[in-house]
Amino acid sequence: MKDIREDIAWAKINKDVLKSLESPRKLFWVIIICALAVFGVGIGCEVYQYNTGLGVANMDNPHVWGLYIASFIFWIGMSHSGTLLSAILHLMHADWRKPIYRFAEAMTTFSLMTAGLFVAVHLGRLWQLYYALPYPNERGIWPNFQSPLLWDAMAIFTYLSSSILFLYVGMIPDLAICRDNIHTGWRKKLYTLLSLGWEGTDRQWRNFRVTYLTIACFLIPLAVSVHSIVASDFAMSQQPGWHITSFPPYFVAGALYSGCAAIITLFIILRYVFKFEEYMTLPILKKTVRLTFAISMVWTYLNLIEYATVWYSHDEVAKAVLLQKATGTYAPFWWMMNFLGSIVPLILAFKRFQTHIPVLLTVSLLLNVGMWLERWMIVAPTFSHGYYPWTWDHDQWPSMVQWGIVFGSFGWFTFLFMVFCKVFPSVSMYEVKEMVYHRSLATKRLEDTRMEASEKGAH
């Protein structure tokens, strides 16, 4: 199991990474067209729903929320690990994040953009979306600042804009490398424009470091608050199964969990497709897997806490909802979610599987299925077994329109991500160089001390 070599030449790093930007293979076009087709299905469903009314999603009067809200939480959750890797681990000086944070950060941005679509799809009157934003108007009408949905709208806008900024700022030195190495076509123009005249002077580097650190510090509280606010949509309400104090940390843990699982999936794919074996090394994968395992156990713990607090409370209604989840119509999904979320990650505890690529790919995909189910199991059962008995004998299943839009969102995400990988370097070149440099320094220092010791011994 090889880690990043310290004698790897800087020119080779440039060459290897820039190679990933060049002439896409046939398979790339096939996949991107498939992704667009899938997205097209989603668009088609949305157009139909927009014209006909939300009734085609097969929601009904007690069950007013469905897969749209569940998928919204899923995609917001997915966005958290990019920030964890790029901002939190940056502050903690965890070296190993360097080759993999760029695509994780891109994943953050794109999954946020996907989540935003679900807000729009969910609304009954999409064309009045701007009512939910605090824009100045002569009638002095404001949105309702008490509503968690409004906090949501603002938190997501802030998080999205700062994630884009963070992704972009962190990329500037790399864009300059691209500019200097690609001499023709629209790419040259694009990189020249985006690299903002970066020359790598001392002053530029100093300003760059300060800016990057500032945005990182700004982004961390945002990442935590965004999902806490999404959790507040539920925790602040009065409904059984939602009105739970531990929801914000539970949601944040779930978010990091699904995000880390997605990072493992994309790590494996990128490593294979772009032949990044020398940068995305197995020790790094191992660290990511261990991180995922730790987070999965935190999630399991918080999940059990939720069950326990409901079970031992005297809130009979919340208890009934829990029982209904475990034994009612949703039971297969609920048990599957618990199995996929808490039992399957135990595989990651075994050392031999921590670098076993096929196992990891399967497990990481399964974990995300589990986390998607978790979101659905938070949203749906409360509607079919709430406070009021009138709601109890109704069953509600999403229609094909609803499934189509959820399906389409995956196409949209894949499309964005694939375009990103071909236009921007998905491994941070300058930080890998830094990493290599630091390692070689460390080795040199070690050799020096050894030599000194031996010299001392000689005298």
Partner 1 sequence: MSVTNLLENWSEFRHKHPVEDVPHDPYKWAMSIDMDACTGCNACSVACYAENNLPVVGKEKYAHGQSMHWIRIERYWPEDDREFPDQGAQFLPMMCQQCEAAPCETVCPVGATNHTADGLNSQIYNRCIGSRYCSANCPFKVRYFNWYDYPTTENVWPAEMVQQLNPDITLRSKGVMEKCTFCIQRIRAGERSVKNEGRILRDGEVQTACQQVCPTNAITFGNLIDPDSKVHQKWKAQRVELDVDEQVKDKEEGGSELRGYRILEELRPYPSVMYMERVRESAI
Q: Could you list the residues that contact partner 1 (CB under 8 A)?
A: 52-55, 58-65, 122-126, 128-129, 131-132, 140-150, 153, 233, 236-239, 383, 386-391, 394, 396
Query: Within 10 A of 246 (CB to CB), how many other CB atoms are there?
Result: 16
CB-nearer residue toward partner 1: 130 or 312 = 130
CB-nearer residue toward partner 1: 140 or 358 = 140
The CB-of-56 to partner 1 minimum distance in angstroms stands at 8
Reported residue count of the chain is 459
Handedness of CA 200, 201, 202, 208 (dihedral sign): negative
Work out the angle at residue 398's Cα, subtended by the Cα atoms of residues 397 and 403, and round it to the nearest 5 degrees: 145
The CB-of-118 to partner 1 minimum distance in angstroms stands at 12
Residue/partner pairs of 126-135 with CB below 8 Å, 24 or more apart: 126/50
For every residue of 389-416, which 3-state class applies, written as one string? HHHCCCCCCCCHHHHHHHHHHHHHHHHH
The CB-of-405 to partner 1 minimum distance in angstroms stands at 16
How many alpha carbons fall within 13 Å on the CB side of residue 290?
9
The CB-of-242 to partner 1 minimum distance in angstroms stands at 8
CB-nearer residue toward partner 1: 32 or 154 = 154
The CB-of-402 to partner 1 minimum distance in angstroms stands at 13
CB-nearer residue toward partner 1: 23 or 238 = 238
Residue identified by tokens 């097209």 is: 40
Work out the angle at residue 27's Cα, subtended by the Cα atoms of residues 21 and 29, and round it to the nearest 5 degrees: 70
Q: Which two tokens stand for residue 61?
A: 């009067």
CB-nearer residue toward partner 1: 105 or 233 = 233
| List of residues 6+ apart from 179 with CB closer than 8 A | 188, 191, 192, 195
The CB-of-40 to partner 1 minimum distance in angstroms stands at 24
Contact assessment for residue 172 and residue 196, using Cβ atoms and an 8 Å cutoff: yes
CB-nearer residue toward partner 1: 124 or 221 = 124
CB-nearer residue toward partner 1: 61 or 207 = 61
The CB-of-281 to partner 1 minimum distance in angstroms stands at 46
